[in-house]
Amino acid sequence: MTAQLTLGPVQYNWAPEDWRDFYFRIADETPIHTVFLGEVICSKRAPLYDNQLPDVVERLHDAGKEVVFSTLSEVTTDIDRRLVKRVAISEGFPIEANDVSALQQMGQDPHYIGPLMNCYNEEALAVYAENGAKSICLNPEMPKVGIAELAEAAKPYDVALEVQVYGRMSLALSARCYHARAHNRTKDSCLFVCDQDPDGMRLDTLEGDEFLTVNGIQTQSHSILNLVECLDELQEIGINRLRISPQSIGTFTAISAFDDVLRDKISPSEALKKMRDDRVDAPFSNGFFYQRPGYEWHDKMPAE
């Protein structure tokens, strides 16, 4: 099976027109196979995209992309619950569950398991596969050795595994909004201040080190995950679905760089150079893959 590039949901609060135009470009210009769409971070933001959604879906479908609706990740309030239900019962669209409540809402129709759910081992994989999951996207903290074990465990089932290969990593979720907190507001009275930061709000240590990224209730890495040098290894262990997580900067360059490597048009180090030259706003990292601190970058070992 040849590897497919997928596009995770936009996790930031982008202006609706920018959001629409981004997906139009994805439809028109990229080899992305599957597009995950929907608000996974904050139920308050979800209605902002309602007007754009039908056009975006149509454009993506016309371009031959598979469109999957992603559900909210942290489900607490009645508004959250209603949003999950609305998405989970969308007729005719496959669903990516990002919380166990979505599994309960949608029953056992074929669906996807998102990276914000926990699938760390063979037993968990069996639960999801037997429940109708056709693909499971693993948490970015999963090391190569664990990914390989899971790929082996997936074989008896009709379930594919997906791994995030590019973009900021989701490191934590909370019930509390840290964007609102930084602006001395509460979640209920936030006035959508997160729209000021299309790639999240940088959090530095008191010693001035760039550290984390705040995106509403989500805490992301500051560094940008980049596994372009690990694509061979991933494919060798049977991972053929590779997820790019959108940023407002550098995403299209990354998509073409990854695609070029998968097609053997350029080498991983050439791809890396191409991505680094495209004014990315943070260092790349790949530590988790090597079972090291996630922010670290490890040059690929020379082949044996």
In the region spanning residues 228 to 287, those forming contacts with another protein, defined by CB under 8 A, are 287
Decide whether 5 or 190 has the Cβ nearer to another protein: 190
Q: Are 220 and 170 in contact (CB under 8 A)?
A: yes
Binding-residue pattern over the window 15 to 54 for another protein, x denoting contact by CB under 8 A = ----------------------------------------
Structure token digits, residue 205:
């240590």
The three-point CA angle 69-75-77 to 5° equals 125
Find the binder of another protein among 177, 228, 255, 280 (CB under 8 A).
177
The CA distance from 285 to 169, in Å, is: 10
Enumerate residues 60-99 that contact another protein by CB under 8 A: 73-78, 80-81, 84, 99
Instruction: Tell me the window of 29-37, 203-211, 232-240, 247-255 that interacts with another protein (CB under 8 A).
Output: 203-211
Decide whether 176 or 273 has the Cβ nearer to another protein: 176
204 near another protein, judged by CB under 8 A: yes
Decide whether 134 or 185 has the Cβ nearer to another protein: 185
Decide whether 33 or 181 has the Cβ nearer to another protein: 181
Instruction: Give me the torsion for CA of 224, 225, 228, 234, rounded to 10°.
Output: -170
Structure token digits, residue 75:
């489900």
Find the farthest-apart pair of alpha carbons in the chain and give their distance in angstroms, rounded. 57
Find the binder of another protein among 21, 141, 233, 278 (CB under 8 A).
141
Decide whether 23 or 112 has the Cβ nearer to another protein: 112
Find the binder of another protein among 11, 34, 43, 139 (CB under 8 A).
139
Three-state SS at 50: coil
The CA distance from 225 to 244, in Å, is: 9
Decide whether 61 or 82 has the Cβ nearer to another protein: 82
Enumerate residues 103-122 that contact another protein by CB under 8 A: 103-105, 116, 118, 120-122
Strands of the sheet containing 34-37, edge to edge, are: 133-137, 111-113, 95-97, 66-70, 34-37, 4-7, 241-244
The CA distance from 51 to 208, in Å, is: 41
Residue 84: CB minimum distance to another protein, A: 7
Whose tokens are 């936030």? That residue is 190
Find the binder of another protein among 15, 55, 172, 273 (CB under 8 A).
172
Number of residues that bind another protein (CB under 8 A): 76
Residue 291: CB minimum distance to another protein, A: 7
Q: Are 223 and 286 in contact (CB under 8 A)?
A: no
